[in-house]
Amino acid sequence: MKRIRLVVRNDKQQAHVIANRFGNLLADRDVATDAGDPDAIVAVGGDGTMLEAASIALELSVPVCGINVGRVGYLAEFAQDEIEDLAIAIASDGFAIMHHSTVSVSTGTETASAINDVVVEKVTGQRIIEVAVEVNHRPLATYRTDGVIVATPLGSTAYSLSAGGPIVDPTLDALIMTPVAPHSLLTRAIVLAPDAVVTLSVTGDRPARINVDGRELLIVEPDELVTIRRGSHAVKFMTLDRHPFPHAVREQFGLDHA
């Protein structure tokens, strides 16, 4: 018997309705959804729920997928009317696995991994910070900015995009570094090689906050080194390959209705 863990958006009633329906479809095919040691993770919600589920899947080294009941579902591949097809695919191993790179951050005291992005940003209410950036131990620039984002291709359509970064095909392997509202000559995002090592340090007398996939990790003091690189493990996504990259972009940005 296969074992699936469901991660459901708690504050959305429709997510629980879909999760119950999906659980019944799995049970009809001898797939358990109450197991503590799952073979895969399925998120039911939006991209926030998907990030939570993907983080669990990364830790357990199992594949993940999502059923979209949110407003935007770039990470959650499956629509509500596709849950029976997904249940059949899980029961029969009839899905493919896509490996997407992660990004890791380390300081002198903490290490964490992100599916979408790592952000070094000003503490709320404070003025802009100065962030010195090195790439592969060579100086690149010092930004006067609200923050610096280092994103995966999968996360390129999240915070990085709203800050002016590019949309990157998630099957590529790269790091995308995007300054947030920079007061500097270099204002554009930079796409770096997948093995690049980005070292950030906040100059001056203002601390900064490190966020990992939107969650605060810690506050770093001036001159404390923050090292960001590709994560050592990829996150595995289950897919039926029904929504390739161009289709996902059109859906996310409503281009079919423009």
At 204-249, the pLDDT tens digits run: 888 999 999 999 999 999 999 999 999 999 999 999 976 666 666 7
Average pLDDT, the chain: 91
At 34, is the pLDDT very low, low, confident or very high (cuts 50, 70, 90)?
confident
Residue of 63, 66, 25 lying closest to 47 (CA atoms):
66
pTM for the structure as a whole:
0.91
Q: What is the DSSP letter of 213?
A: T
Domain spans, the chain: 2-100+234-257, 103-230
Which segments of the chain are extended strands (E)? Answer: 2-8, 31-32, 40-45, 64-68, 96-100, 103-106, 111-114, 117-122, 129-135, 138-145, 147-151, 175-180, 190-192, 197-203, 208-212, 215-220, 225-230, 235-239
CATH architecture of 2-100+234-257: 3-Layer(aba) Sandwich (3.40)
**By percentage, how much of the chain surpasses pLDDT 90?**
78
Q: How far is CA 179 from the centre of its chain?
A: 18
At 47, is the pLDDT very low, low, confident or very high (cuts 50, 70, 90)?
confident
What is the average per-residue pLDDT within 66-71? 84
Query: Looking at the domain 103-230, which fold is it?
Result: Tumour Suppressor Smad4 (2.60.200)
| Catalytic residue flag (residue 39) | no
At 257, is the pLDDT very low, low, confident or very high (cuts 50, 70, 90)?
low
- Report which of residues 180 and 76 the model is more confident about: 180
Of 39, 47, 169, 223, catalytic: 47
Q: Is the pLDDT of residue 74 over 90?
A: no
